[in-house]
């Protein structure tokens, strides 16, 4: 078997139905667009939890900001029949992720929990993954970021600070998942309970638009929401098989 | 007409000599740093001996490093903990006088870190202690060391982690995100 | 082998040394850096290395009073989350609340007491000791009190509640000063006044968004920054998709679409200032169609006779069909709720508008019912007097200062130089011999102070809060320090207590610290509490509050309410008045409190500066929003710099072409335009500078939406810093929508709105 076949095999294996059955979790998230108000509490929660840099006005103008979760806004119609629709956009943790196939050093790959990983110390900064990602949710560190003292005292010790030349993105708060698994082990449980682990964005969402959980557990909130007839995946036609599922915004006529 | 480049090269000899000496010096300097200042066994502000404490007096590791079984970090004992014994024990030795100085000035002791992992590694003492791993597996035979140092058997490198995770068939133990953050 | 003479040899030795040195340094630079392990001198009791400790306390970033839990590691604050057992926040928190960490760790904080050395405004300060600073202030206070001149002392604070408010009351009282004022730019004066007129009490009721089925919001950006946004968002989410049988529907009436407008099912732009007329038009429709059958029906019919659908349609610019449809839906969908605030309340007829909104609630009889408007009981803590200064009151204060009637002004956290339009406040301050500021930051007002006694941030101080509005029952929360103080600062309460002591007032104000003062106050709540509190000692009661972060008493108010006939007879909304003629100034300026920076106090937080504005996605700057058609006519494009001129001043800002704003209205966010507030804040322009001094006639509150302006292109343009690419979908179907029917019966019951705030 040539090395190319081996790699292809590796990529293919977790796309088979039932791949995740042999493991404990298959993490997923639902985003109810009918609840989302675009308040961006999630954005700041993520920034605070994951040591996202303050890039400054100049870098921001160059499009070099780093926001693992952001709110996209789309206008519809013209005055006076005009609407603004919000959508939180974060790494979709695709089960068939385009970014994973392209990384020359396997710094990004799919793990057994259904997470699209990013290993910073392995990343060499080719930025290919960002090019391949159709959701534009991968962020490159163009600079060594700096926190004016004493802002650095806020940095979360459970998350590393990424240096220049490294790609980064949403991890579904892997540090919180790890912590929850740790607690479960202490309690002698094999599995984490539903709701026991919430990424920072889900935890803070004031309208509960975001819900996170294990898709393998049929009783989890996230599994139930994924059966809602309003579900859809963004850019589903690309067959990315994303783990973030959106619930359509309800817009009825005024009658 | 015979043209030789030898005279031209000859003219370069003094310059080449200088470059060669500089390069040689570079290597020597690098080696000298590595040999005499390896950073794997730095001189500590107090010449604390694990050999005396953990070896000869057989004080259990977790008597001082109390956090190890509860927390990700093992914890360094507070100055008051040291003084708990050294109010009575060996009070006249020069190193203990240093300790007493710190205590009386209410200053912490600026220990130099030897067993250090990069910032992007998540390691939890708690889980490893719970799994019954001996402290020496990663830290080396500290009970024999007068000055704490990294050993070849326990170099604090990734291979050590992975070998052990493989041997013990740790669940998801080879996944990058088990340890990298 | 060449000959090497002595000189060559020395050269080679030199080269060799350089090489050795360079080699040594090379490895030194690539070597793993030496890190230190610093132990404690004495191990603390409340945390262990590597394990997070959480403290429950209270958010002070806006007036909502959310309970928060702060995660600390190794004695440093790392993350703020909502306190799950606090009824206001229920575990959730907004962006601004999260950014509270950057108040604590802000690099531009004042680190110790300062004294102005040059001229005021020169910015030259010298460090002094606390004793020097306190002595200088206390001596003057003592002198004035002894001479019975206490009223020459002014105390001007930001809005504070709980025991800090009570301490200020006590302090002012003992000094003999009646000049104790709170000033916040966005305090809803008109709402308090309207409730006083209509319900007979100047307090805010609880708006039960969670259980409502149809919400009419007249200008209130309840999801953005109106009163209690986190709690409203919780209610909104639940009303939308938290019930299996029904999906709540939301209507927003405002001239410029706010965040709440975007979330609403229907956004209606009535002419600015006519929101109250529209409300009365709806009321007229409800009464005239016979949907209201109360005993006072005839009074209503008479009072509303001037608000027929056609008349109102003409005055407000809202279609007659729309008025009929909304009125009918409002009365037929039970329960329904109307709220009013924001720009609708900031006109010359603000109070009348909000009275009209209250009338709608009265007509559909939702008062005291789930999904309606619920009266709050008396706050459990110290009932502070309403000290909030309206714009008119602030003008009087300025006038007093100009007359030389104020000798000392003590400022606490409020910034009127920034947030008071055309009041001549700076000139007034110049007439005050001694200005003292207790601010944590060098805001524009503090920059003019003679003595700065910087206070702790809220994460370093003791305090307590009794949220206003409450949640339908009595709650109180204690805030505690979550980290040790970073700098040589002191808690506001402790500064006041120390000043009182040194000014010889310790007989009446004997407490040595704010913590003792608060604890004594809570002893009263404990003694009074008829519930289970008596089973435990006060100390254990106190500890349990600190642990839980909140205390509550499930006592509800009697919902019975009779409306005074005179109120009905007096109901009317006069047309709004504007400053500037419509010929010379063709646009109405709609200044709105920024969702990210609020009234400007959050402008020094880098997370908030880098948080895209929810509607425009602009960061780090000011902009002016113009309707696309208007912009087209004036040939203006995004980024074109324009001069915005009112009868009271002129500012310059880039254009943002905003699809959801009425023609004839331009909007600007308030929040930017600082000059002394620190490295992140000093940018942009402040639209408050050009507002007219017109007020709501009944309260004297600033009618901030009543200024007319004109705009002039400057021919220059800049690139607006913002996120995202095209603001249209272009058929990509990124945000997908569905009709209303599809969602019925499939709503998920999420298991975490744990607290029902209204009895059902």
Residues B86 and B12 in one domain: no
How far apart are alpha carbons C485 and C103 in whole angstroms? 13
Does residue B83 lie in a domain region?
Answer: yes
Cβ within 8 Å of C, B 155-174:
none
Are B95 and B173 members of one domain? Answer: no
CA count, 13 A, side-chain hemisphere, C181: 24
Q: Among B110, B135, B153, which residue terminates a domain? A: B110
The Cα–Cα gap between C606 and A235 comes to 33
Say which DSSP state C75 is in: T
**Which of B118, B120, B172 has the most A C-beta neighbours within 10 Å, making it the best mutation to test the interface with A?**
B120
Closest CA to A66 of A161, A173, A178: A161
Among chain C residues, the shortest Cα distance to A63 is held by: C723
Same domain, B98 and B17: no
- Answer whether B115 touches C (CB < 8 Å): no
Q: Give me the residue spans of the domains in chain C.
A: 114-186+385-549, 189-374, 587-717
Contacts of C51 in chain A (CB under 8 A): none
Facing residue for A161 by CB, picked from B119, B175, B178: B119
CB count in 10 Å sphere of residue A17: 6
Q: Tens digits of per-residue pLDDT, C346-355?
A: 999 999 999 9
State the pLDDT confidence band at C366, using cuts at 50, 70 and 90. very high
Q: Does B79 touch chain C (CB under 8 A)?
A: yes
Predicted local confidence at residue A2, as pLDDT: 80
- Does B42 lie at the interface with C, CB-CB under 8 angstroms? yes
Number of separate domains in chain B: 3
Query: Would C189-374 and C587-717 be classified into the same CATH topology?
Result: no
Residues B65 and B154 grouped into a single domain = yes
pLDDT tens track for C134-177: 999 999 999 999 999 999 999 999 999 999 999 999 999 999 99
Class of domain C114-186+385-549: alpha beta
Determine the distance from the C-alpha atom of residue B35 to the mean position of all C-alpha atoms in its chain, rounded to a whole number: 15
**Range with the poorest average pLDDT among B30-39, C225-234, C259-268:** B30-39
CB interface of C with A, residues 617-636, below 8 Å: 617, 619-621, 627-629
Q: Which class would CATH give C587-717?
A: mainly beta
Q: At what angle do helices C275-288 and C350-363 cross, to 10 degrees?
A: 30
Give the A window 4-43 contacts with B, CB below 8 Å: 23
Res B158: pLDDT: 93
CB within 8 Å: A185 and B130: yes
Residue B40's pLDDT is: 76
In angstroms, the separation between the Cα of residue B80 and the nearest Cα of chain C is 5
- B71 min Cα distance to partner chain A (Å): 11
- On chain B, the residues whose CB falls within 8 A of the CB of C52 are none
**Hey, is the C-beta of B30 within 8 angstroms of any chain C C-beta?**
yes
Find chain C residues with C-beta within 8 A of A85's C-beta.
Answer: 262, 735, 737
Residue B168 lies in a domain: yes
Same domain, B19 and B105: no
pLDDT of res. C743: 47
Q: Residue B10, class by beta-carbon neighbours within 10 Å (0-12 exposed, 13-18 middle, 19+ buried)?
A: exposed
Verify whether the Cβ–Cβ distance C98 to A204 is below 8 Å: yes
Identify which of C94, C249, C486 has the shortest CB distance to residue A206. C94
pLDDT of amino acid C350:
96
- Classify residue B95: in a domain, yes or no: yes
- Angle between helix axes C6-30 and B6-36 (nearest 10 degrees) is 50
Strands C737-738 and A249-250: parallel
Bigger pLDDT: C232 vs C745? C232
The nearest CA of chain C is from the CA of A116 a distance in Å of 21
Q: What is the mean pLDDT of chain C?
A: 92
Asked if B126 and B54 sit in the same domain, the reply is yes
Out of C81, C617, C619, name the one closest to residue A203 (CB).
Answer: C81
Shared domain for B131 and B57, answered yes or no, is: yes
C16 → closest Cβ in B24, B30, B72: B24
- B42/C34 touch (CB, cutoff 8 Å), yes or no: yes
Residues of chain B neighbouring C42 (CB-CB closer than 8 A): 78-80
Cis bond before residue C656 (omega within 30° of 0)? no
Examine the domain organization and report whether B20 and B84 are in the same domain: no
- Asked if A172 reaches chain B (Cβ–Cβ under 8 Å), the answer is no
In the predicted structure, residue C521 carries a pLDDT above the cut 50: yes
Q: Measure C112 CA to nearest chain B CA, in Å.
A: 24
A46-60, A167-181, C727-741: least confident range: C727-741
Q: Do A251 and C735 touch (CB under 8 A)?
A: no
Check whether residue B103 and residue B116 sit in a common domain.
Answer: no
CATH for the C189-374 domain, from 3.40.228.10, 3.40.50.10490, 3.50.50.60, 3.40.50.300: 3.40.228.10
Q: Where are the alpha helices (DSSP H) in A107-199?
A: 128-132, 174-186
Is the Cβ–Cβ distance between B174 and A111 less than 8 Å? no
**Which residues from C are below 8 Å from B18, CB to CB?**
11-12, 15
3-state secondary structure of C665: strand
pLDDT band at A255 (very low <50, low <70, confident <90, very high): very low
Inter-chain residue contact B67 with C2, CB threshold 8 Å: no
> For residue range C676-695, what is the model confidence (pLDDT) as tens digits?
999 999 999 999 999 999 99
- Asked whether residue C756 carries a pLDDT value surpassing 60, the answer given is no
Query: Are C611 and A41 inside 8 Å of each other by CB?
Result: no
A178–B176 C-beta distance less than 8 A: no
Q: Which residue has the higher pLDDT, B157 or C67?
A: C67
Chain B contact for A158, CB < 8 A? yes
Q: Does C661 touch chain A (CB under 8 A)?
A: yes
Whether B132 and B164 share a structural domain: yes
Which residue in the set C659, C663, C735 is minimally distant from A249, CB to CB? C735
Q: Which of A47, A182, A204, A222 to mutate to test the interface with C (most CBs of C within 10 A)?
A: A204
Q: Same structural domain for residues B60 and B101?
A: no
Residue C472, pLDDT > 90, answer no
Task: Name the residue facing A221 among C241, C628, C750 (closest C-beta).
Answer: C750
- Would you say residue B153 lies in a domain? yes
Residue with tokens 């819900």: A211
Q: Which residues of C touch A43 (CB under 8 A)?
A: 95, 611-612
**The predicted structure's pLDDT at residue C534:** 59
Contact state of A254 with C325 under an 8 Å Cβ cutoff: yes
Q: Is there a contact between A22 and A32 (Cβ–Cβ < 8 Å)?
A: no
Inter-chain contact B177–A159, Cβ cutoff 8 Å?
no
> Mean of the per-residue pLDDT values for chain A?
92
Question: How many angstroms away from the CA of C272 is the closest CA of chain A?
Answer: 15
User: What fold, for A11-247?
Assistant: Alpha-Beta Plaits (3.30.70)
Could you tell me the residue range of the domain that residue B96 belongs to?
77-110
pLDDT at C759 over 50: no
User: B24 and C19 in contact by Cβ < 8 A?
Assistant: yes
CA C508, CA C517: separation in Å to the nearest integer? 12
Q: What angle do CA B47, B53, B59 make, to 5 degrees?
A: 150
Is A167 within 8 Å of chain B by CB?
no
Q: Are residues B85 and B159 in the same domain?
A: no
As a whole number of angstroms, the distance between CA A179 and CA C101 comes to 23
For B177, which of A159, A160, A174 is closest by C-beta distance?
Answer: A174
* Shortest distance, CA A169 to any CA of chain C (angstroms): 17
Q: What is the mean pLDDT of each run of 10 residues along chain B (181 residues)?
A: 78 85 90 80 91 95 93 92 93 93 94 91 95 93 92 87 94 92 86
Strand boundaries in C109-219, DSSP class E: 114-116, 125-127, 153-157, 180-182, 206-207, 214-218
User: With pLDDT > 90 as the criterion, what percentage of chain C qualifies?
Assistant: 81
From chain A, the residues in CB contact with B180 under 8 A are 119-121
Please answer yes or no on whether C43 and B80 come within 8 Å at the CB atom.
Answer: yes
E strand or H helix that includes residue C7: helix C6-30
Tens of pLDDT, residues A216-253? 999 999 999 999 999 999 999 999 999 999 999 998 76
Percent of chain C with pLDDT strictly greater than 70: 96
How close B98 gets to chain A, by Cα (Å)?
31
Domain boundaries, chain A: 11-247
Chain B residues near residue A111 by CB distance under 8 angstroms: 172, 175-177
Q: pLDDT at position C745, please?
A: 46
Is the pLDDT score of A86 beyond 50? yes
pLDDT tens-place string over residues C485-503: 999 999 999 999 999 999 9
Largest CA distance in chain C: 124
Report how many Cβ contacts below 8 Å link chain A to chain B. Answer: 42
Say if the Cβ atoms of C22 and B23 lie within 8 Å.
no
β-strands C434-437, C336-340 pairing = unpaired
Nearest-neighbour CA in chain A from B139: distance (Å): 22
CB < 8 Å to B67, chain C:
48-51
Q: In this structure, what token pair is assigned to residue C521?
A: 């106050």
Report the 10 Å Cβ neighbour count for C528.
Answer: 10
CA–CA dist A59, C653 (Å, integer)? 21
């Amino acid at each position: 078997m040539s090395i190319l076949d081996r790699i292809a095999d590796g990529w293919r294996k977790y796309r088979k139905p039932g791949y995740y059955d042999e493991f404990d979790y298959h993490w997923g998230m639902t985003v109810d667009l009918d609840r989302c108000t675009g308040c961006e509490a999630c954005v700041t929660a993520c920034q605070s939890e994951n040591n996202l840099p303050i890039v400054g006005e100049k870098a921001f103008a160059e499009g070099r900001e780093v926001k693992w979760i952001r709110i996209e806004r789309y206008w519809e119609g013209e005055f006076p029949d005009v609407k603004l629709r919000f959508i939180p956009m974060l790494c979709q943790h695709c089960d068939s992720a385009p970014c994973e196939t392209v990384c020359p050093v396997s710094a990004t790959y799919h793990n057994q929990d259904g997470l699209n990983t990013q290993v910073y110390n392995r990343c060499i900064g080719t930025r290919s993954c960002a090019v391949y990602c159709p959701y534009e949710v991968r962020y490159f560190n163009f600079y060594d970021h700096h926190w004016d003292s004493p802002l650095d005292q806020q940095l979360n010790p459970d998350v590393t600070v990424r240096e220049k030349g490294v790609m980064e993105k949403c991890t579904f708060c892997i540090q919180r998942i790890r912590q929850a698994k740790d607690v479960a082990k202490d309690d002698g449980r094999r599995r984490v309970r539903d709701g026991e682990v919430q990424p920072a964005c889900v935890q803070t969402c004031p309208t509960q638009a975001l819900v996170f959980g294990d898709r393998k557990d049929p009783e989890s909130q996230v599994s139930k929401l994924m059966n809602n007839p309003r579900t859809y995946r963004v850019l589903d036609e690309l067959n990315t098989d994303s783990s973030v599922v959106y619930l359509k915004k309800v817009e009825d006529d005024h009658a | 007409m015979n043209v030789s480049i030898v005279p031209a090269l000859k003219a370069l000899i003094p310059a080449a000599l200088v470059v060669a000496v500089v390069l040689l010096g570079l290597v020597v300097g690098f080696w000298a740093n590595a040999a005499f200042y390896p950073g794997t066994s730095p001189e500590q502000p107090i010449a604390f001996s694990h050999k005396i404490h953990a070896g000869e007096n057989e004080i259990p590791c977790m008597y001082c490093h109390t956090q190890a079984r509860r927390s990700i970090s093992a914890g360094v004992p507070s100055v008051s903990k040291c003084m708990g014994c050294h109010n009575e024990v060996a009070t006249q030795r020069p190193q203990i006088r240093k300790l007493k100085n710190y205590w009386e000035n209410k200053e912490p002791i600026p220990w130099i870190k030897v067993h250090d992992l990069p910032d992007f590694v998540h390691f939890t003492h708690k889980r490893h202690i719970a799994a019954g791993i001996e402290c020496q597996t990663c830290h080396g035979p500290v009970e024999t060391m007068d000055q704490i140092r990294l050993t070849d058997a326990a170099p604090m490198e990734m291979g050590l982690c992975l070998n052990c995770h493989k041997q013990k068939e740790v669940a998801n133990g080879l996944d990058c995100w088990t340890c990298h953050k | 082998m060449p000959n090497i003479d002595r000189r060559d040899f020395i050269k080679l030795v030199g080269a060799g040394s350089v090489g050795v040195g360079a080699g040594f340094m090379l490895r030194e630079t690539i070597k793993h850096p030496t890190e230190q392990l610093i132990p404690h001198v004495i191990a603390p009791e409340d945390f262990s290395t590597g394990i997070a400790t959480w403290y429950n306390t209270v958010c002070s970033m806006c007036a909502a009073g959310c309970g928060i839990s702060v995660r600390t590691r190794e004695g440093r604050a790392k993350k703020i989350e909502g306190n799950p057992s606090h009824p206001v926040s229920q575990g959730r928190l907004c962006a601004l609340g999260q950014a509270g960490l950057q108040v604590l760790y802000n690099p531009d904080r004042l680190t110790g007491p300062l004294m102005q050395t040059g001229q005021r405004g020169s910015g030259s300060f010298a460090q002094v000791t606390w004793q020097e600073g306190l002595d200088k202030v206390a001596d003057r206070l003592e002198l004035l009190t002894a001479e019975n001149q206490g009223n020459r002392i002014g105390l001007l604070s930001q809005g504070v509640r709980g025991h800090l408010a009570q301490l200020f009351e006590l302090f002012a009282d003992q000094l003999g000063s009646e000049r104790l004022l709170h000033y916040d730019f966005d305090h809803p004066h008109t709402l308090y006044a309207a409730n006083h007129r209509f319900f007979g009490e100047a307090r805010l009721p609880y708006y039960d968004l969670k259980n409502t089925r149809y919400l009419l919001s007249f200008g209130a950006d309840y999801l953005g920054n109106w009163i209690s946004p986190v709690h409203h968002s919780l209610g909104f989410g639940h009303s939308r998709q938290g019930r299996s049988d029904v999906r709540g529907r939301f209507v927003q009436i405002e001239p410029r679409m706010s965040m709440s407008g975007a979330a609403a099912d229907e956004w209606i732009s009535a002419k600015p200032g006519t929101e109250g007329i529209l409300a009365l038009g709806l009321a007229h429709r409800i009464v005239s169609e016979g949907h209201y059958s109360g005993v006072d029906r005839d009074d209503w019919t008479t009072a509303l006779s001037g608000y027929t659908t056609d008349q109102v349609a003409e005055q407000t610019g809202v279609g007659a069909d729309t008025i009929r449809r909304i009125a009918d839906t409002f009365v037929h969908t039970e329960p329904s709720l109307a709220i009013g605030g924001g720009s609708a309340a900031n006109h010359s007829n603000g109070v009348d508008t909000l009275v009209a909104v209250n009338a709608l609630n009265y007509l559909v009889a939702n008062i005291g019912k789930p999904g309606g408007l619920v009266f709050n009981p008396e706050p459990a803590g110290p009932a502070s007097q309403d000290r909030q200064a309206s714009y008119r009151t602030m003008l009087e204060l300025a006038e007093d200062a100009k007359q030389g009637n104020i000798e000392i002004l003590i400022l606490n956290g409020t910034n009127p130089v920034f947030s008071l339009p055309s009041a001549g406040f700076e000139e007034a301050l110049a007439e005050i011999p001694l200005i003292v500021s207790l601010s944590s930051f060098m805001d524009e007002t503090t920059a003019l102070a003679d003595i700065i006694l910087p206070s702790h941030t809220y994460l370093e101080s003791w305090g307590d809060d009794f949220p206003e509005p409450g949640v339908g029952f009595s709650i109180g929360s204690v805030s505690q320090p979550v980290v040790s103080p970073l700098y040589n600062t002191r808690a506001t309460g402790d500064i006041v207590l120390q000043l009182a002591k040194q000014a010889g007032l310790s007989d009446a104000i004997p407490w040595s610290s704010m913590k003792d003062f608060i604890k004594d106050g809570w002893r009263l709540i404990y003694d009074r509490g008829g519930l289970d509190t008596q089973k435990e000692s006060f100390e254990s009661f106190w500890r349990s509050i600190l642990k839980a972060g909140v205390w509550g008493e499930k006592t509800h108010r009697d919902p019975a309410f009779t409306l005074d006939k005179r109120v009905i007879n007096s109901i009317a909304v006069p047309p709004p008045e504007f400053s500037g003629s419509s010929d010379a100034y063709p646009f109405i300026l709609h200044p709105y409190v920024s969702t990210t920076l609020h009234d400007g106090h959050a402008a020094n937080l880098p997370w908030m500066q880098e948080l895209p504005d929810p509607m425009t996605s602009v960061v780090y700057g000011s902009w002016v929003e113009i309707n696309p058609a208007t912009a087209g006519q004036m040939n203006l494009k995004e980024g074109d710099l324009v001069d915005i001129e009112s009868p009271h001043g002129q500012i310059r800002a880039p254009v943002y072409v905003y699809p959801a704003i009425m023609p004839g209205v331009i909007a600007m966010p308030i929040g930017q335009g600082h000059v002394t507030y620190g490295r992140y804040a000093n940018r942009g322009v402040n639209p408050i500078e050009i507002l007219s001094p017109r007020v709501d006639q009944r309260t004297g509150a600033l009618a901030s939406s009543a200024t007319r302006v004109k705009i002039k292109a400057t021919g220059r343009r800049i690139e607006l810093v913002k996120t995202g690419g095209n603001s249209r979908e272009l058929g990509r179907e990124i945000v997908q929508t569905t009709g209303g029917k599809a969602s019925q019966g499939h709503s998920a019951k999420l298991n975490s709105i744990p607290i029902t705030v209204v009895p059902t």
